[in-house]
Amino acid sequence: MPHQSSVYRSQKEAQFSSNGLSVDKNLLLKKRFRLTVQIGAGAFGKVYEAIDVYSGKKFAVKMESRDSNKTSVLSIELSVLRKLRAAGASKSHVPSYLCCGTTESYHYIVMKLLGPDISWLRKRMPEKKFSLATVLRAGMAMSECLETLHTQGYVHRDVKPSNFAMDRFSDQLYIFDFGITRRYVDSMGFPLPERKSVGFRGTARYASLSAHDGRDMGPRDDYWSFLFMLIDLYAGELPWTSLGDRDVIGSAKRTAIEDGSLVEGLPDCFGLLLKYISSLGFGDCVEHRLVRRILSEQLDLAGVAPGTPYDWECGPSINSPAHSRAPSRHGSSNDLVAVRPNTVLSQSASTRVGSLEPAALACSQSAASFGSPITSAHPSSGSLGTPDQGACVTDDDIAVIDAQVPQGRVVSSYTVSPANSRDDIRGGSRWCHLIKTLVSGIFLECQNIAPL
């Protein structure tokens, strides 16, 4: 079987060539990074594979058009990546970035090149789903990714399979795409006040009920998406997979959660996760170790050996996940949606992050009292095994951002926004000029200090 890297790269090159999207191979970023092939596109812009003409190493380049009338999603991601790197998080489950800058037409970030994402690997399976062993082990690694992010005081707000990817040369799993990530604690580590109306954030298929209701999201909401994602990877679908309208999807989720049909016929671990996540409030800190313990104990009950290969390591001809709770439903996709312009995402993505300790103060609930009927133990392994794999920082499920403007103040990486700010940031030339100035400052500063 050909390497995942060559298969992935050839498929993506063919996909974007057929769409008429070409690569300017004469463009040399920082006088050393040459674009080779487009490997992704989303609401923010485009993703390319690039090669360092001096070292021959490959990187990923995310590019976004310069537009003073729109909020720069890439600048928000850059701010989050900077602070995660400063806190050391980029050494674990967050891809590092090397440098950033601007051209006449684009802002860009040069980042670590990752392997195929979980969504792409799942679609390579004959039945478009994974075995229980692979879902549980991948789930433990994904929980570690979320713990890395939450510990630094951030919530991702768009947890889904296409935002997790493997390292190209190791068994490391990464979480990426921080364009709508938001800080949920203040500079002292205490939870920010819950906002009652912020608009929809995320991807309809995996979004939490809070997202559907337009309410503020905290760590628990990342884990609602986490639960929906694991069920989808295991069962091959969700009860609302065939639905296209976002409001109808939200109603279907509420019904499935309340009547228990969401986890009906599934292994016990899914019901336990549902019970635990349902017990969390907005400002509560998730007990990540408890989540991983539930998954690892289910692995032990299933008799999965520690060295069992993952489904994508076996290849399509070997993988045969014999599980299904209902006939497959094939409906229209609800994931491809457009980002509306003139939307300010969050004032808090630019707030500086401290050490690990402050965010831990946000914990207001312990899961010690949460009972688990699973009593056996299994070594918890948070990383995934994989062969040499191809380049992927793409996202074929585009997140949606409502045009409703949240409360807060747009700030640069040098300014901390007050937690209780209520400034209105709707339209107006003054704010457009301010946004343009701040975004330009972020990328210009990055050009001057970019480590290579």
Q: Which residues are annotated as a binding site for ATP?
A: 62
* C-alpha triplet 337, 248, 405: angle, nearest 5°: 50
The Cα 156–Cα 221 span in angstroms is 9
Task: Decide if 190 contacts 236 (C-beta within 8 A).
Answer: no
Catalytic residue set: 158
Residue 227: closest CA among 152, 301, 142, 293:
142
Assign 154 to helix, strand or coil. Answer: strand
Residue 12 is inside which H or E element, if any? helix 4-18
Task: Decide if 60 contacts 112 (C-beta within 8 A).
Answer: yes
Residues with Cβ within 8 Å of 2's Cβ and at least 6 positions away in sequence, in order, are none
First to last CA, the chain: 35
Binding site, annotated residues: 62
Residue 81: closest CA among 110, 103, 45, 49:
110
CB 306: neighbour CB atoms within 10 A?
A: 9
The Cα 312–Cα 319 span in angstroms is 8
